[in-house]
Amino acid sequence: MSEGRNPVFHCYASGWPKPSFSWFKGETEIQDGDAQHSYVLTERAQGLDPGLDLDILYVRAEHAGRYSCVARNKFGEERHDINLFLESKRPALLLICHSAPSLVLWLAHYPQHSQRLVLQFFSLSFS
């Protein structure tokens, strides 16, 4: 997913007694308005299956991660996970060092779905 989008995650379940719902990011429960008002929780009562939708307004890098919906009643709970990955828009850096008869390239970039900087080294010799 690209930054700036507005994903919506739906969670619904049926049961008796009627289940309650919670959304988590990692192990932290999400409250309506959390993350600088970018999380919006909306209860769904349509049809026979109640639920809780999670909207993320203007998704940013800090929103990436594992989200879990938990439905519970007095007989137990069910948890379902989803991972949100963001496409990196961070630029790559290319450094070129030329000293005849060789060419040295350094490439620094962030691979897709990674927060880790990768450095790659290439050396070419001309004879």
Q: What is the DSSP secondary structure assignment for residue 75, as one 8-state letter?
A: T
C-alpha 6: how far from chain center: 12
Question: What separation in angstroms does the CA of 36 have from each of 17, 56, 61?
Answer: 34, 11, 14
The pLDDT, as a whole number, for residue 93 is: 55
Residue 12: exposed, middle, or buried by beta-carbon count in 10 A (0-12, 13-18, 19+)?
middle
Write out pLDDT tens, residues 86-100.
Answer: 876 655 555 555 455
Compute and round to an integer the Cα radius of gyration of the chain: 23
Q: What is the pLDDT of residue 34?
A: 86
- Supply the pLDDT for residue 31: 94
Q: Please state whether the predicted TM-score (pTM) of the whole model is above 0.75.
A: no
Q: Which of 28-37, 51-60, 115-124 has the lowest mean pLDDT?
A: 115-124
Instruction: Calculate what percentage of the chain has a pLDDT beyond 90.
Output: 31
What's the pLDDT at 47?
67
Q: What is the pLDDT of residues 97-117, one digit of tens each?
A: 545 555 555 555 556 555 565
pLDDT score of 127? 47
- For 94, counting Cβ atoms within 10 Å of its Cβ (0-12 exposed, 13-18 middle, 19+ buried), the class is exposed
Which domains, and CATH codes, for the chain?
8-84 (2.60.40.10), 93-125 (no CATH)
Beta strands per DSSP E along 13-126: 20-25, 28-29, 39-44, 51-56, 65-73, 76-84, 93-99, 102-109, 118-125
Rounded average pLDDT over 5-24? 89
Q: Are 94 and 107 in contact (CB under 8 A)?
A: yes
Question: How does strand 8-9 pair with strand 51-56?
Answer: antiparallel
What is the per-residue pLDDT for 16?
A: 87
**Average pLDDT of the residues of the chain:** 78
C-alpha 60/C-alpha 119 separation (Å) is: 24
